[in-house]
Amino acid sequence: MNNNTNPLARKDTTAIVRAGLQRRYAAEKRFKWYGLTAISIALLAVVLLFADILIKGLPTFWQTDIRLEIDFAPQIIDPDGRRNPDDLSLADYSALWKKSLRQLFPEVESREELRSLYALISSGSSLQLRDRVMANPALIGVTQNVDLLADDTVDTFFKGGVDRELPEAQRPLKDDQIAWLDKLKAEGKMETRFNTGFFTNGDSREAEQAGIGGALVGSIFTLLITLSLSFPIGVAAAIYLEEFAPYNRWTDIIEVNINNLAAVPSIVFGLLGLAVFINFMHLPRSAPLVGGLVLALMNLPIMIIASRAALKSVPPSIREAALGMGASKLQMVAHHVLPLAMPGMLTGSILAMAHALGESAPLLMIGMIAFIVDIPTSPFKPATVLPVQIYLWSTLPERAFVQRTSAAIILLLLFLAVMNATAIILRKRLERRW
C-alpha cells in the first residue's frame, strides 16, 4: 500500500470537490428545469386541446329557434279534405312558414329579398311541420305558435359568432337579414333552447339539422358485436395459453404473434376487413357487422394480453388447492381461477372497448364513411360511428359544422372518460391483492 502511487494523495480532494460544486449544481438545476419544462409542455398540450374543443363545442348544445305563428291552412295541406296520410305527407309545408314570414315582414317584396328572408329558417322546418301534422291531423285549420329551427348561420349569429362590423360581403348574413333578425329578437320571437335534435337526428347536409343519433346507434351496434366476439374468444384464448398450452414452438409462435399483432397499425386491419369480409365473404359494406368484426380482430390481442395478465395474478396455490380436491383441470379453471381473474378481465375489456370506440381508421376502409341520414335499425344496415362522423364533419367548412364536430368530440371524450373511470373503479373495488 504505497500511498505515493496514488495521484489523489498529492491533492486536496476536498478542495477540488468544493471548487466544482457551483458548476455542478447549476447543471443540476438546468436539468431539473428541462424536465419541468417538458412536463409543462405536455400538460399544457392537454389543457389547450380540451379548452379548444370545449370552447368550440359547447355552443352546439344550444340551438336557436324562431317562433312563428303558423296557420295550418287546410287549402295548402289537405285541399280535398280527406285527411289521407299519403296526401298529408306530400303537401308543401314550406308554404306555411313562408307565408307566416311574409306576414311578419310585409315590406319584403322582391324575389331576391324573399329568398334571403326565407334563408333565415332551416329547410328542415317543413319536415318539422309535416311531422306535427302527421302526428296530429286535428291541427289542420288551427293557427298556432311554432318554434322553428333557425338556419345555422342565424344560430351562429345569435351565439355571437358573426361580426357585425365586417363588410357585408365577408359576412354570411346580409345587412337586411341582420335587420330582420334584430326585429325578430326585439319581438321576443327568437330563443335558445337545449339542442335535443343534436342527440337524436341522423346526419344532414344542413348543419342545424345534423345530429349524432345515427352515429351513436352505429357505434353501439359496432361495439356490441366487437364485445360479443372479442371477449369470449379473448378470454378463451388467454385461458388456453395460460392454463393448458404446453410450452412448445407453436405456443411460442402464438405468443410472439399476439404481441406483434397488438402493435400492427389499425389501418392494416381495415385492409384485412375489406379484403376478407367485403370482397371475399360479400358481407354488406358500411355495416356495423363488418365494423364490429374488424374491431374485434383488432382488439383481440389486447383482450388476450389483459386476460392473461389477470390469470397470471391468481396465485398458483389456488390452483393446487382445487386440483388437490380432485377437480378436473377445467373445473379448477371454471370454478376457481376464472372467477378470481374476472375483474381483471372485465377491466381489460372495458379499456379495450374504449379503444375500439375511438377507432376510426379501419372503419374508413370498409365504407363506414358513407353519408347516412337514417338511423340504422340493425347491424346489417349501413351506418357510421361516432369518430368517423367527427371525421366527416371536420371536412365541412361551415362554422356550425366545426361546432358540431367539437360537440361530438366532447361527447366521445365523455363516453371514453366514463368507460375508463368504470374500469378504474372496477379495478379498485374488485381486484384482490395477493
Partner 1 sequence: MNTTATTINSATHQGTLIVAQAEAPLKTGPRVIDYNDRRTVGDITVPDPKMVCRDVNVYYGENHAIKTVSIDIGNRQVTSLIGPSGCGKSTFLRCLNRMNDTIPGCRVTGEITIDKENIYDKNLDVVQLRARVGMVFQKPNPFPKSIFENIAYGPHIHGLAANKRELGELVETCLIKAGLWEEVKDRLEEAGTGLSGGQQQRLCIARAISVNPEVILMDEPCSALDPIATARIEELMDELRENYAIVIVTHSMQQAARVSQRTAYFHLGDLIEVGDTEQIFTNPQHRLTEDYITGRFG
Partner 2 sequence: MLPYLVLTLLLLSTIGYYLGRRRSLAMADGHIRNLHSLPSYYGFYTALWCGLPALLLFILWMALGSILITYLVVADLPPEMRSLPPERIDLLVSNIKNLVQGNIVSDTADPVMRAAADQYRRLQAIGNGALWLLVLALAIGGGAYAYRTIAPRLRARNLVERVIMVFLMVSSTIAILTTIGIVLSVLFESIRFFHAIPITHFLFGLQWSPQTAMRVDQVGASGAFGAVPLFTGTLLISFIAMVVAVPIGLLSALYLSEYAHHSFRSVAKPILEVLAGIPTVVYGFFAVLTVAPLIRDTGQWLGLDVASESALAAGLVMGIMIIPFVSSLSDDVINAVPQAMRDGSYALGATRSETIKLVILPAALPGIVGGILLAFSRAIGETMIVVMAAGLSANLTANPLKAVTTITVQIVTLLTGDQEFDSPKTLAAFALGLVLFVVTLTLNIIALHVVRKYREQYE
Other Cβ atoms less than 10 A from the Cβ of 11: the count is 10
Residue 416 interacts with partner 2 (CB under 8 A): yes or no: yes
Indicate whether 268 belongs to the interface with partner 2 (CB under 8 A). Answer: yes
Q: Which is nearer to partner 1, 29 or 329 (CB)?
A: 29
64: left (phi over 0), alpha (psi -120 to 50) or beta: beta
- Write out the binding residues for partner 2, residues 246-265 only, by CB under 8 A: 253-254, 256-261, 263-265
What letter would DSSP give residue 285? T
Residue 13 interacts with, from partner 1, partner 2, none (CB under 5-8 Å by kind): partner 1
Residue 69 pairs in a beta bridge with 145
Per partner kind, with CB cut-offs from 5 to 8 A, the member of partner 1, partner 2, none near residue 20 is partner 1
Minimal distance in Å, beta carbon 416 to partner 1?
Answer: 33
The answer to whether residue 82 forms part of the interface with partner 1 (CB under 8 A) is no
State the first-to-last Cα distance of the chain, in angstroms, to the nearest integer. 54
Q: Is 7 in the site for partner 1 (CB under 8 A)?
A: yes
Q: What residues from 284 to 313 belong to the interface with partner 2 (CB under 8 A)?
A: 284, 297, 300-301, 304
Whole-angstrom Cα distance, residue 151 to residue 159? 12
Are 140 and 74 spatial neighbours (Cβ–Cβ below 8 Å)? yes
Which does residue 304 bind out of partner 1, partner 2, none, counting CB within 5 to 8 angstroms by kind?
partner 2
CB 118, CB 101: distance < 8 Å: yes
Per CB under 8 A, 97 contacts partner 2:
no
- Please report whether residue 26 would count as binding partner 1 according to CB under 8 A: no
Q: Work out the number of other CB atoms within 10 angstroms of the CB of residue 314.
A: 21
**Which one among 367, 375, 376, 404 touches partner 2, defined by CB under 8 A?**
367
Q: Which of 272, 295, 306, 383 binds partner 2 (CB under 8 A)?
A: 272
| Cβ-Cβ contacts under 8 Å for 222 (sequence gap 6 or more) | 288, 291, 292, 295, 356, 363, 379, 383, 385
By beta-carbon proximity to partner 1, the closer residue of 28 and 374 is 28
Q: How many residues line the site for partner 2 (CB under 8 A)?
A: 91
* Residue 3 contacts partner 1 per CB under 8 A: yes
Stretch that binds partner 1, among 1-9, 45-53, 148-156, 197-205 (CB under 8 A): 1-9
Decide if 292 contacts 225 (C-beta within 8 A).
yes
What string of DSSP letters covers 96-150? HHHHHHHHH-TT--SHHHHHHHHTTB-TTHHHHHHHHHHH-GGGTT-EEEEEEEB
Residue ranges in 225-244 that form contacts with partner 1 under rule CB under 8 A = none
For the bound state, the minimum distance from the C-beta of residue 267 to partner 1, rounded and expressed in Å, comes to: 39
| From the list partner 1, partner 2, none, partner contacted by residue 178 (C-beta under 5 to 8 A by kind) | none
Decide if residue 24 touches partner 1 (CB under 8 A). Answer: yes
Q: Which three cell numbers stand for residue 125?
A: 322546418
* Contact flag: residue 11 with partner 1 (CB under 8 A): yes
- Using CB under 8 A, which of the segments 66-74, 103-111, 145-153, 390-398 binds partner 2? 390-398
The CB-of-30 to partner 1 minimum distance in angstroms stands at 16
- 14 forms part of the interface with partner 1 (CB under 8 A): yes
Distances (CA, A) of 192 to 61, 62, 64, 400, 403: 10, 6, 4, 15, 16
Residues 19-38 touching partner 2, rule: CB under 8 A, are: 24-25, 27-28, 30-32, 34-38
For residues 285 and 368, is the Cβ–Cβ distance under 8 A?
no
**To the nearest whole angstrom, how small is the minimum distance from the Cβ of residue 20 to partner 1?**
5
Question: Taking CB under 8 A as the rule, does residue 400 contact partner 2?
Answer: no
CB-CB contact of 149 with 209 (8 Å): yes
Of 408, 347, 355, which Cα lies nearest the Cα of 226? Answer: 355
Angle 229-234-236 (CA atoms, 0-180°, nearest 5)? Answer: 105
Measured from the CB atom, is 66 or 407 closer to partner 2?
Answer: 407
The residue ranges that bind partner 1 (CB under 8 A) are 1, 3, 5-9, 11, 13-14, 16-21, 24
